[in-house]
Structure 1
Amino acid sequence: MLRIATANVNGIRAAHRRGLGDWLATRGCDVIALQEVRAQAAKLPERAFGDFHVALETGTLPGRNGVAVLTRRPPAAVRTWSGAALLGAPGAPLAPVPAAERVPLARGLARFAAEGRYLEVDLDDGPLTIASLYLPKGGLPAHLQRPERMREAPDGGARYARKMGFMAAFARQLARTRRAAAADGREFLLMGDLNIAHTRQDLAAWRRNQQHDGFLPEEREWLGRQLTPRTLVDVVRRLHPEADGPYTWWSWLGQSFAKDAGWRLDYHLATPRLARAAMTTAVDRDHEGVRLSDHAPVVVDYDLP
């Protein structure tokens, strides 16, 4: 069995103050994808990644983004969009990956390459490529922006356009990456915070959020196009086809967490053969009564050696 998790930690320093270190030590995961690490190497907490080997792409925006993949054995290969990555053994300082690969980018992705949004590794002990993605949050198109209903200042649709541009480019990149893994005899697993609730089952208050970023029709349609029985499969939804949720994000405000009025934004998207190996899923809403982040880790057990 291989236990694989994804977790948006929304700042690894804050997550450690809430118990991330103990969760890493006790959850029994073999591979963990992290998003929103939000710390440059010099500002990571001590033993930030516990007893795991880590491949980390911090990006160049201080205090923002940052993705990582944690593994029990050193990865066989590390690839990023920028060509920059850090690698560390348990308890050892991080160092630049000497053989990190800069993958050829699909049209439109170059402007996002240095933001620390994507990293992938090949496992050393099995034919599997694991990727961690933090997709931009985005915003509303200009015609839906109402200042009196917005927490952020209206931007004329700039954040919306940026997210849509990322998604269009990433769809091309994703197809390339999946095919490259297949050509190398590897299964492929994309994990991370996609900042999209795909269907009505993935959002508790879907009726009043139909004109909210993260649940716009065009965002949901884009995600649907990435999922087919022959390309990528939503692993959690495959195992829970009729369930509402399980949700993975709740606002810190109000009673949304207590009432489980959340969004499912964090995914395992696997090639079909790998998806069929998934046995059980769990969303770790808290660790010993404390939320690690506004997101919750999504843990899947795969019937793999």
Structure 2
Amino acid sequence: MRIATFNINGIRAAQRRGFETWLREREPDVVALQELRAPASAIPDGVFGDHHVTYDEGTLPGRNGVAIMTRKEPSAVRTWSGTALLRHPGDDHIETVDVEPTPLARGLREFADQGRYVEVDLADAPITVASLYLPKGGLPAHLQKPGRMREAPDGGARYDRKMRFLDAFARQLTRSRRTARARDRELLLMGDLNIAHTRYDVRNWRRSNQAEGFLPEEREWFASILSPRTLVDVVRSHHPEADGPYSWWSWLGQSFANDVGWRIDYHLATPALARSAVSAGTDRDPAPDRRISDHAPVVVDYDLAVLDSRRGTQR
């Protein structure tokens, strides 16, 4: 089963730049999308091909929005907001419906309507798949230096918001993993986590220790949600000491041409599912002028026969 995660940086822009061609050529069975940045009424016709789509657009105009595309209609759908757009292939309706409510961990309520998280139970595999768009954040107040920042200093407000999210989401993730296990399912969390975990995940890592997304406290949080018994970074397990493979490059300058990137898009899987992965990497665009997004899709092929045998052994 081919599963991908892709921050498309706007579904309408991604369609113009070749998203449908990528989808047709790579033929993923499941795709987690982030930053669709569009109300349901503005989603281009036919952009999802022959996939079923579960979409939480959120309430922030022109921002965020997460979705999961599946070959088969999911057996269950959950969002933090309690509503979602559910579309079968060929549908064009824009009405959202009530879906299974997700009990939220303490501290997540402020983020519930922002279009940051959706999860589905696959109908054709014992897997719960989640798509996450984690806040980008910012620098703490003591690191903010006027004139040396692209954005105006905010006294650490964006940093504080991200840290609140991380604290609450760690609790939520533990709950989701345990719930999946109780339902005899594996959990696969995918998305743009806006954190590069190790020095192998940032090209210029020495200069990035005081950059948002690579702060020591962010990396410490990331390490805390991983372990051989809970969640495994699937791509890193296939490339243990390689630089990258990066999944994001700035639009500015020669970052993409020189591969000055960050790895901030992930497949985090429960151990049995992680061990069933047979290939893992990024679909880096062939040239700067052929980029679909500032992110690249992260694609993993999972062998469901291997997964079934490992789950049988565990039982």
Give the TM-score band, short-chain normalised.
over 0.9
User: Hey, what does 1:282 align to over in structure 2?
Assistant: 281
User: Hey, what does 1:114 align to over in structure 2?
Assistant: 113
Contact in 1 for aligned 2:40/2:94 (Cα 8 Å):
no
User: Hey, what does 1:246 align to over in structure 2?
Assistant: 245
1:204 aligns to 2:203 (yes or no): yes
User: Hey, what does 1:165 align to over in structure 2?
Assistant: 164
Q: Distance in 2 between matches of 1:43 and 1:33?
A: 19
Structure 1 residues without counterparts, runs of 5 or longer: none
Aligned in 2, Cα 1:90/1:132: closer, same or farther, shift over 3 Å? same
Q: Distance in 1 between matches of 2:121 and 2:96?
A: 14
User: Hey, what does 1:137 align to over in structure 2?
Assistant: 136
User: Hey, what does 2:31 align to over in structure 1?
Assistant: 32
User: Hey, what does 2:299 align to over in structure 1?
Assistant: 299
Report the alpha carbon displacement of residue 126 of structure 1 after superposing the two structures with TM.
1.5
Q: Distance in 2 between matches of 1:287 and 1:133?
A: 26
C-alpha offsets along residues 181-226 of structure 1, whole Å, 9 cap, x if unaligned? 0000000000000000000000000011110000000000000000
C-alpha offsets along residues 108-152 of structure 1, whole Å, 9 cap, x if unaligned? 000000000000000011111000000000000000000111011
Q: Count how many residue pairs are aligned between Structure 1 and Structure 2.
A: 304
Pairing of 1:179-194 with structure 2 (within 5 A): 179-194=178-193
Pairing of 1:61-140 with structure 2 (within 5 A): 61-94=60-93, 96=95, 98=97, 100-140=99-139
**SS of match in other structure, 1:85:** strand
**SS of match in other structure, 1:181:** helix
Contact in 1 for aligned 2:34/2:191 (Cα 8 Å):
yes
Report the alpha carbon displacement of residue 269 of structure 1 after superposing the two structures with TM.
0.0
**SS of match in other structure, 1:275:** helix
The sequence identity of aligned pairs, in percent, is 68
Report the alpha carbon displacement of residue 282 of structure 1 after superposing the two structures with TM.
2.5
Structure 2 residues without counterparts, runs of 5 or longer: 306-315
**SS of match in other structure, 2:112:** helix
Contact in 2 for aligned 1:84/1:96 (Cα 8 Å):
no
Deviates more, 1:94-103 or 1:171-180: 94-103
C-alpha offsets along residues 226-245 of structure 1, whole Å, 9 cap, x if unaligned? 00010000000011101110
Deviates more, 1:175-184 or 1:95-104: 95-104
Report the alpha carbon displacement of residue 102 of structure 1 after superposing the two structures with TM.
1.5
1:9 aligns to 2:8 (yes or no): yes
Contact in 2 for aligned 1:204/1:261 (Cα 8 Å):
yes
Q: Distance in 1 between matches of 2:93 and 2:137?
A: 31
Q: CA RMSD, aligned part only?
A: 1.2
